[in-house]
Chain A
Amino acid sequence: MANPLRGEVVKLYKNLLFLGREYPKGADYFRDRLKTAFMKNRDETDPEKIKQMIARGEFVIKELEALYYLRKYRALKKRYYEHDE
């Protein structure tokens, strides 16, 4: 279990878990999916593959941030600027 990448994976998981608190479908929904996704690859040992997966996780973080931003922006636009076409 002393994989040198373990710390990074745990960090990624924590960051994603934190982001999931704001998920539109609810934190529980997000956490379940997140956990399944991580558990699916629990037996992976190849460092190259793990790195790839971490990169993918970081990509997901970016996507989530963009999603939250857009959601907020749209909500505000609808509330305050709905008259411009």
Chain B
Amino acid sequence: MARVLVGVKRVIDYAVKIRVKPDRSGVVTDGVKHSMNPFCEIAVEEAVKLKEKKVIKEVVAVSCGPQQVQETIRTALAMGADRGIHVEVSGKDYEALGPLQVSKIMAALAKKEEAKMVILGKQAIDDDCNQTGQMTAALLDWPQGTFASEVTVEGEKVKVVREIDGGLETIKINLPAVLTADLRLNTPRYATLPNIMKAKKKKIANVKPGDLGVDLTSRVEVLQQGAPEGTERRTGGWTEPRNSPPGPLKCAVFCYHFFRSAPGPRPPSCSRAHSSRSACGVGFRLNTALKNNARQTGGRPQTCQAESSRPPNLILDNHTARTRRPDALIPARGTRDSQEG
């Protein structure tokens, strides 16, 4: 049986708070912790699992970028990949490296290595493009199984359960094929220290895009990057309560009204304006109580939404419309300064 090509991308760690450069030309990457894109981890894990089931013989991890991406490849090797390919792209080319360029590289490598399958993460958490897998499949003219949440190889075919809006879709496609991993495909194993040490013995080949006959010129120009609106400070949002007085009392009065009608004991500090669920715990209890109340009365809860804590991700300006919060939400009155404890 043949080999599988897995793409891994080095991105800013998911737990790092993203900061945009003051001139809005990009995000701060210097001195920031990087790690493998979580979706790529899932892709690597799936390939290694297939190898453990003896469906395939070899797992090759590929990454494009400067010298540092070798660390990412090393992580993939520690997770169980057999060897790595480092496609050297640096400087200007790396800045302009987009999904199209990467998919050209992946397609060229897939042909060169005679891969039976290309497994990629469905998207990277830095640019959120979600295009590389699809374009690789198009360039190779192979079938694609995107957003895979279950993969079973059956002879020369592969059955893929895909996550689609509102459910799951099962498809059967011919091999060779391109698959992209969704979040629920598997639980990636941890690259432990002994495995990382062992991985240092595995080989990483160095390839230049020119050797593959890939042209890296980009047709996309990034004008500016910025944080989505309203994410400078993550605060809770509140829906306007009915008959509420204007002004700073709004939130407190809302709590008062609400807790008078809500069953159960009254939380201790509800007269205080609060900013988020976690800040004082009241918001959270409020939410739970709202739901209970709604369950009892059979009505819809008067929504009191604590904004999700999605950190400002790298989002281009034209995406902000999607992430802007609904107009019904008004910003919470008091913020962190007005709170004790």
A residues apposed to B, CB below 8 Å? 14-15, 18-19, 24, 61, 65, 68-69, 71-73, 75-82
In the complex, the answer to whether A76 meets B125 with C-beta atoms within 8 Å is: yes
Choose from B38, B183, B187, B309 the contact partner of A81 (Cβ within 8 Å): B183
Chain A residue at smallest Cβ distance from B187: A69
Q: Given A68-B190, A69-B188, do A76 and B38 touch, yes or no (CB 8 Å)? A: yes
A68, A71, A80, A82: the one within 8 Å of B183 (CB): A80
Chain A positions within 8 Å of B38 at CB level: 72, 76
The interface residues of chain A lying within 8 Å CB-to-CB of B309 are: 78
Give B contacts to A, CB under 8 Å: 14-15, 38, 125, 183, 187-188, 190, 192-194, 308-311, 313
Min CB–CB distance A63 → chain B (angstroms): 12
Q: Which residue of A lies closest to B13 (CB)?
A: A22
With beta carbons under 8 angstroms apart, the residue of B15, B187, B192 that contacts A75 is B15
Chain A residues lying within 8 Å of B183, measured Cβ to Cβ, are 73, 76-77, 80-81
- Smallest CB–CB gap between B26 and chain A, Å? 20
CA distance A34 to B15 in the complex (A): 23
Inter-chain CB contacts under 8 Å: number: 39
18 contacts between A and B (CB under 8 A): A15-B193, A18-B192, A18-B193, A19-B192, A19-B193, A61-B192, A65-B190, A68-B190, A69-B188, A71-B15, A72-B38, A73-B187, A75-B15, A76-B125, A76-B183, A78-B308, A79-B313, A82-B308
Output the least CB separation between B32 and chain A (Å). Answer: 15
Which residues of B sit under 8 angstroms from A71, Cβ to Cβ?
15
**9 further contact pairs, Cβ within 8 A, besides A19-B192, A24-B15, A73-B183:** A14-B193, A15-B194, A19-B193, A69-B187, A69-B188, A76-B125, A77-B183, A79-B125, A79-B313
Residues of B close to A14: CB separation below 8 A: 193
Residues of chain A contacted by B313 (CB below 8 angstroms): 79
CA distance A80 to B310 in the complex (A): 9
For A15, the chain B residues whose CB sits under 8 A away are: 192-194
Interfacial chain A residues near B308, Cβ < 8 Å: 78, 82
Give Cα A69 to B188, complex, Å. 8
Interchain nearest-CB distance for B36 vs A (Å) = 11
Which A residues lie within 8 Å of B188 (CB)?
A: 69
The reply to whether B14 and A75 form a contact with Cβ atoms under 8 Å apart is yes
List residues of chain B with CB within 8 A of the CB of A76. 14, 38, 125, 183
B14 partner residues in chain A, CB cutoff 8 A: 72, 75-76
Contact partners of A82 in chain B: CB under 8 A: 308, 310
B189 nearest CB neighbor, chain A only: A65
Instruction: List residues of chain B with CB within 8 A of the CB of A68.
Output: 190
Residue in A18, A24, A61, A78 whose CB lies within 8 Å of B310: A78
* A38 nearest CB across to chain B (Å): 16
The residue on B at minimum CB distance from A61 is B192
Bound CA–CA A62/B326 (angstroms): 42
Judging by beta carbons under 8 Å apart, are A79 and B310 in contact? yes
**CB of A34, distance to nearest CB on chain B (Å):** 14
Listed residue (B15, B308, B309) with the most chain A CB atoms within 10 angstroms of its CB: B15
